[in-house]
Structure 1
Amino acid sequence: MKEKLAGSTPPAFLSFLLAFSVSCLVAGCAGSQARFESLRDSASLRQEVVSAQGFRLLLLERSRLIEQGGHVHVYIEGDGRPWVAGGEVVAADPTPRKPMALELLVQDERAALYLGRPCYFVGVGDAVCSPQWWTSQRYSERVVQAMADALADWLARRPAIASVSLVGYSGGGVLAMLLAERVPQVRRVVTLASPLDHERWTALHGYSPLAGSLNVAKLRHWRADVLRQAIFGTNDTNVPPAAMLHALPPGTEVLVLPGMAHECCGDQTWTSILGRLNQAAAASP
């Protein structure tokens, strides 16, 4: 994904690209929706839409296990498709064609919740959903607080849940790190192929800076009662591990998977990786 501003592009070409992006959106929407519904239904997930900070957010929960209480895994999606046409035009809808975090949730047999991002899947046509929320301000204070409010409200309605693990894929991992500081029930954060220093990440690829977004690498104070685990892939050219290790909060456990590119999980299954993470968590003091 080649994210950059298109201000120097001729207006006629911009009009063509915009029309192209809209046509692609219409053509791909049915397939994306079918994939989403198939994943949702295969795991018997209950769908809910909640409001927070003026946004609407999608929630999908594995109700049967969640009702038992205890610990819940909360999955957060990646950045999807903020730009189209080779990064020259802002997407009309950032919803991912392949919802990787949802695919990981489906493989996870534990109690789980899919926590949507503002303007993803639902609400993209709402007046509040201007493109800034999935481009430059995708990790902004308002976006993070909206997700924190939505999760806090969901937890308040389920008092039997004692603790939460946040699992974030790609940009969802950035949001997971930030959310953990605001939701007291969070005890663990797992990031997967996440650009935890978005300033270095955008510079590395020549993308437009994410002005207005919070940067994990710039934070200096972290909760001491949260276990943090970061997964990277040796073949990930989108988020190279070496470019992100400096951004990790102190004490973060790092797992670098041989052969894994930006999409999870190389030659390993997500359930096997979860098992390794759980073993590491159990061994932590």
Structure 2
Amino acid sequence: MLVGWVLAACAGVPSPEDRSAAMRAMAKAADWRVQAVSGGDFSLLVSYPAGLTSAQTLAVYVEGDGFAWVTSSSPSLDPTPITPMGLKLAVQDARPAVYLGRPCQYVRTGGSRDCGRKYWTSHRFAPEVVSATHTALDRLKAHFKVQQFELVGYSGGAAVAALVAARRTDVARLVTVAGNLDHATWTRDLRLSPLSGSLNPADAWQSLARLPQVHFVGGQDRVIGKKVAPAYLRRFPAGSDVRLIQKAAFDHACCWAENWPDLLQEVSR
């Protein structure tokens, strides 16, 4: 009965293969290449402009949690995003940019660690997940001869981007969109199960205090809620270069991609 209920809940959701094909079609339409890169424990999907060969500063867009849950109590069998919001943002960036998927999205084999469902539920920001992204950045840095990164994280990708930035000295700026920057506040506020196997970006504030940051928040975002970003910002001392930009009419999905070129102008101000 449980299997039948989950399958019914999934009715109408594209298969992982179809979701991956849709992402590849989106990348192809923008003349972006798609490949897998080793992140040590996991293989991660990357996409980048076909003509990109080197970049002094590389913007890396880290995808959100994807299709992590079928219902509020049933995790999905595959977290590959239905809508790759990170890619929708990345392809609009006129600067050298790369899209980076999360562990177990698009690529289920090739790493040394099995893609258990904990990696898109309780352990979505686990140390091994952060390490995989950190390693992938090292490979991108060597391949594209990068001097510094700007990390852009969407939703749960914001947490991963922040945790990776806390480990590195070559990140020039952290930008997040509808980001889960304090999952302890998030789970408590929305009465969700704690992310018991995950690191919390808010706890890394001391390593992030040196870093310029811009955090976009939607005034109608019920997925992350209104308390998460302020709780994160309260960790930082007065005078820190950490900006919160709220868009009153936006929610978790709308209308970031539609307005991304203009929002990037706000980041640079």
TM-score, normalised via structure 1 length: 0.84
Alignment of 1:5-44 (within 5 A): 12=1, 14-20=2-8, 27-29=14-16, 31-44=18-31
Q: For the structure 1 residues 220 and 36, does the alpha-carbon distance in structure 2 shift closer, same or farther, using more than 3 Å as the test?
A: closer
The match for 1:45 is: 32
Give 1:202's aligned amino acid: T
The answer to whether the Cα contact below 8 Å between 1:170 and 1:194 also exists between their aligned partners in 2 is yes
Among 221, 236, 261, the alignment partner of 1:236 is: 221
Which range is displaced more, 231-240 or 142-151?
A: 231-240
- Is 2:176 the counterpart of 1:180? no
What is the distance in 2 between the residues matched to 1:227 and 1:58?
27
Does the CA-based 8 Å contact 1:59-1:116 persist in structure 2?
yes
C-alpha contact (below 8 Å) 1:21/1:91 kept by paired residues: no
Instruction: Give the one of 43, 52, 60 matched to 1:56.
Output: 43
Could you report, residue by residue, the CA deviation over 1:166-208 in whole angstroms, capped at 9, with x for unpaired residues?
1101001111111112233211000111121111211222222
Percent identity, aligned pairs only, is 33
Rounded to whole Å, the distance in 1 between the matches of 2:168 and 2:246 is 27
Q: Secondary structure at the match of 2:188?
A: helix
Residue type of the partner of 1:277? Answer: V
Residue 102 of structure 2, aligned match among 84, 107, 117: 117
Q: Which moved more, 1:146-155 or 1:16-25?
A: 16-25
Residue in 1 that maps onto 2:249: 259
Q: State the number of aligned residues.
A: 263
- Contact preservation (8 Å) 1:78, 1:101: yes
Contact map agreement 2:41 2:128 (CA 8 A) in 1: no
More divergent stretch after superposition (34-43 vs 239-248):
239-248
- Which AA in structure 1 matches 2:59? H
Alpha-carbon distance in structure 1 between the residues aligned to 2:61 and 2:115: 22
Deviation sequence 1:66-96 (CA, Å, 0-9, x none): 3242211100111111111x22322110111
From the superposition, tell whether residues 199 and 44 of structure 1 become closer, same or farther in structure 2 (CA, over 3 Å): same
Contact persistence 1:82–1:135 (CA under 8 A)? yes
Amino acid of the residue matched to residue 271 of structure 1? P
Q: Give the Cα separation in 1 of the matches to 2:130 and 2:97.
A: 20
For 2:93, the equivalent position in structure 1 comes to 108
Structural RMSD (CA)? 2.3
Question: Does the Cα contact within 8 Å between 2:151 and 2:175 map onto a contact in 1?
Answer: yes
Q: Secondary structure of 1:53's partner?
A: coil
Larger Rg: 1
Within a 5 Å distance, the mapping from 1:133-144 to structure 2 comes to 133-144=119-130
Q: By how many angstroms is 1:264 displaced? A: 4.2
The worse-fitting range, judged by mean Cα deviation, of 93-102 and 121-130 is 121-130
Would you say the 8 A contact 2:16–2:106 is kept in 1? no
Q: Give how far 1:56 is off.
A: 1.1
Equivalent residue letter for 2:178: A
TM-score of the two chains, using structure 2 as the length reference: 0.89
Matched, 1:129 2:115: yes
Amino acid at match of 1:152: D
Q: What's the offset of the Cα at 1:124?
A: 6.1
Distance in structure 1 (CA, Å) of the matches to 2:78 and 2:227: 32
Q: Answer whether contact 2:88 2:257 (CA < 8 A) is retained.
A: no
Q: Report the equivalent of 1:81.
A: 67
Equivalent residue in structure 2 for 1:217, among 185, 202, 206: 202
Structure 1 position 54, deviation (Å): 2.2
Q: Cα–Cα, structure 1 residues 137 and 204, in superposed 2: closer, same or farther, change >3 Å?
A: same
**Any stretches of 5+ residues in structure 1 without a counterpart?**
1-11, 280-285
Give, as a single letter, the amino acid of the residue that structure 2 aligns with 1:270: W
How many Å separate the matches in 1 of 2:255 and 2:75?
Answer: 29
1:157–1:30: structure 2 CA closer, same or farther, 3 Å change rule? closer
CA–CA distance in structure 2, aligned partners of residues 52 and 68 of structure 1:
20
What is the aligned partner in structure 2 of residue 277 from structure 1? 267
Structure 2 CA distance for aligned equivalents of residues 63 and 193 of structure 1: 29
CA distance in 2, matches of 1:209, 1:223: 23
SS of alignment partner, residue 61 of structure 1 = strand
Task: Please tell me whether residue 171 in structure 1 is matched to residue 159 in structure 2.
Answer: no
